Amino acid sequence: MLNRETQYSWNPVTETWEVKGRIVYKYLGERIQEIVKWTWSDSATAWVYAEKRSFLYSNITWQLISISGYLRNESLEEWQQTTFEGFIYDDNFNAEGHSIVAKEDGSNQWNVHLKNYCTYNYSINDVDIILPWENSSFLPSLFHHQITAERMHTYNFEELLYVPLLERRYFYSSKDPNTSSENTKEANSIKVFPNPANDFVVVENPGNANHVVFEIFDLTSARIISARIIGRRTLDLSNLTKGIYLYQIKENGNISTGKLMVW
């Protein structure tokens, strides 16, 4: 588990790296429980608290319920809460929204309140689509199914209600744009399993054709693995990071395509 980060900045005058910050991670089992940030004080020649985030989970499902953010008040020697984030789930425990309340510096009044709510096509899972970004491993993913719209509301404290602020809509192509060829077809004759995969994937060629090439690409279209397949072959994936990959199977001038999830 990631335990600590130390941050440095380059001083062009002394041509040295100078320590500036440190982040310490605390866990509850395998889940993040607290993130504490420190800054280096030259005058005190010591680390001093800067800010922290505390994570709260449900007792039964271990879903992330909220994140509380704090700034350090050294004069009072205490933490003062400045933000509160909450997460919204559907009946199947899929995250579908996020809200945040915040205070301005030096204020005891909660004065910023945003809520982000998503709608989905639940017939399409996230492993069946390609997205150009990756979420933080600390936060529940809003992209568990095909997201169709994302709406943000702000809270009107005078009228005590939410008002619309922003909407995003998402549109998808029916084919993978990286493999737009007349000879492209969906993978069907060659078997690729297990999917999701972990340390290995098996590619099985029932016809035992001699001219079959199996290739794996990341989402930037960089080729990672290329292998000739005769019969059945097991490929090592232990060096790949977790995520979604594309694969191509070239067989007698045809290209079969698919997506492979590595976890």
The reply to whether 49 and 116 lie within a common domain is yes
The reply to whether 14 and 65 lie within a common domain is yes
The confidence score (pLDDT) of residue 121 equals 93
Q: For residues 224 and 83, give the distance between their C-alpha atoms in angstroms, rounded to a whole number.
A: 42
The pTM is what? 0.62
pLDDT averaged over the chain? 84
The confidence score (pLDDT) of residue 105 equals 65
Give yes or no for a contact between 95 and 141, defined as CB atoms under 8 angstroms apart. Answer: yes
What mean pLDDT is predicted for residues 35-50?
A: 89
pLDDT tops 70 at residue 177: no
Closest CA to 85 of 51, 115, 109, 108: 115
The reply to whether 153 and 189 lie within a common domain is no
Q: For residues 258 and 190, give the distance between their C-alpha atoms in angstroms, rounded to a whole number.
A: 11
3-state secondary structure of 253: coil
Find the domain containing 113 and state its range: 4-169
pLDDT tops 50 at residue 143: yes
The confidence score (pLDDT) of residue 210 equals 65
The reply to whether 105 and 48 lie within a common domain is yes
- Decide which of 169, 198, 225 is a domain's last residue: 169
- Decide which of 169, 192, 218 is a domain's last residue: 169
The reply to whether 112 and 95 lie within a common domain is yes
The reply to whether 189 and 144 lie within a common domain is no
Pick 176 or 30 by higher pLDDT. Answer: 30
Q: Are strands 184-186 and 254-262 parallel, antiparallel or unpaired?
A: parallel
Pick 184 or 38 by higher pLDDT. Answer: 38
- Decide which of 169, 196, 230 is a domain's last residue: 169
Contacts of residues 155-160 at CB distance under 8 Å and 24 or more positions apart, as own/partner, are 155/113, 155/114, 155/115, 157/111, 157/113
pLDDT tops 80 at residue 176: no
Indicate which CATH number applies to the domain containing 17: 2.40.128.720
The reply to whether 142 and 74 lie within a common domain is yes
The reply to whether 154 and 95 lie within a common domain is yes
The reply to whether 65 and 155 lie within a common domain is yes
Residue with tokens 């060629």: 205
In this prediction, residue 32 has a pLDDT band, given cuts at 50, 70 and 90, of very high
The reply to whether 137 and 182 lie within a common domain is no
Structurally, the chain folds into a number of domains equal to 2
pLDDT tens string 234-256: 899 988 888 888 888 888 767 77
The reply to whether 128 and 219 lie within a common domain is no
Indicate which CATH number applies to the domain containing 246: 2.60.40.3080
What mean pLDDT is predicted for residues 99-118?
A: 85
The reply to whether 123 and 197 lie within a common domain is no
